[in-house]
Amino acid sequence: MGALPEEVFERELHQRLLSGDPVASQELAAAFLEPLVDRLRTKFQRLGDETLVLDAATDAVLGYAERPSQFNPDKLRLLPYLVMSARGDLLNALERRRRQAGREIPTDRVEDLLDARNSLRKEADPGERVAVPDLQEVVGRVRETITDPVDRQMVYLMAQGERRTEPFAAVLGIAGLDVEQQRRIVKRHKDRLKKRLARLGVELREPS
């Protein structure tokens, strides 16, 4: 593990970056790249692709060197700030990768959505009993609206009553993240899809 630079050194370096010292950015990279990569490797140890970690770490360091005024050393130490910045980039990169992978998912999996029709039902207006519309129509509406293949697979799993995080994480391409991060990201996507389905007048039954 790389040694953590001293706070005094951090503050001096920050001032030198602010004043335009031309070699401060090199010293920053030499001092912080190593501990930053170490931290990210620990946080994302199951990522399986070090390129993403190195790019995110590098971009965080170079970004700070370009815009040092965005960092306030009175509020935070530099390494946690760089970790936070790199983590955001890393999650964005994973999201882009997930979307790209989604475009490559075979369409026959998407068609499985139709098999989930028995788990879909029309959400009845409160206080009003109305006839449940034709399920085929509801499924057709879902298919027209949710066009992203990954979202469709998520909906398929939800409609199947799947509650485990792992299958959703696999679909999202985030299986390499730690369990807590997977759980948070999966929940966020499920909540988003539930809202979209609700706007279509559809709610998914939670398995008892």
Given candidates 33, 86, 138, 154, which one binds other proteins under the rule CB under 8 A? 33
Given candidates 10, 13, 14, 37, which one binds other proteins under the rule CB under 8 A? 37
Segment near other proteins (CB under 8 A), from 29-37, 147-155, 172-180, 197-205?
29-37
Q: Does the protein bind other proteins through residue 153 (CB under 8 A)?
A: no
DSSP secondary structure letters along the chain: -PPPPPHHHHHHHHHHHHTT-TTHHHHHHHHHHHHHHHHHHHHTTT---HHHHHHHHHHHHHHHHH-GGG--TTTS-HHHHHHHHHHHHHHHHHHHHHHHHHHTS-HHHHHGGGGGGGGEEEPPPTT---PPPPHHHHHHHHHHH---HHHHHHHHHHHTT---HHHHHHHHT-TTS-HHHHHHHHHHHHHHHHHHHHHTTEEEPPP-
Q: Does the protein bind other proteins through residue 38 (CB under 8 A)?
A: yes
Q: Does the protein bind other proteins through residue 4 (CB under 8 A)?
A: no
Rounded Cα–Cα distance for residues 59 and 198 (Å): 39
Q: Does the protein bind other proteins through residue 12 (CB under 8 A)?
A: no
User: Please, what is the minimum distance in Å from the beta carbon of residue 40 to other proteins?
Assistant: 12
Site string for other proteins, 60-99 (x = CB under 8 A): -xx--xx---------------------------------
Segment near other proteins (CB under 8 A), from 55-63, 93-101, 105-113, 169-177?
55-63
- Please give the size of the binding site for other proteins, defined by CB under 8 A: 24
Burial 165-200 (b: 16+ CB within 10 A, else e): bebbbebbbbbbbeeebbeebbeebbeebeeebeeb
Given candidates 4, 12, 43, 55, which one binds other proteins under the rule CB under 8 A? 55
User: Please, what is the minimum distance in Å from the beta carbon of residue 24 to other proteins?
Assistant: 7
User: Please, what is the minimum distance in Å from the beta carbon of residue 82 to other proteins?
Assistant: 12
Q: Does the protein bind other proteins through residue 58 (CB under 8 A)?
A: yes
Interface positions with other proteins (CB under 8 A): 1-2, 20-26, 29-30, 33-34, 37-38, 54-55, 57-59, 61-62, 65-66
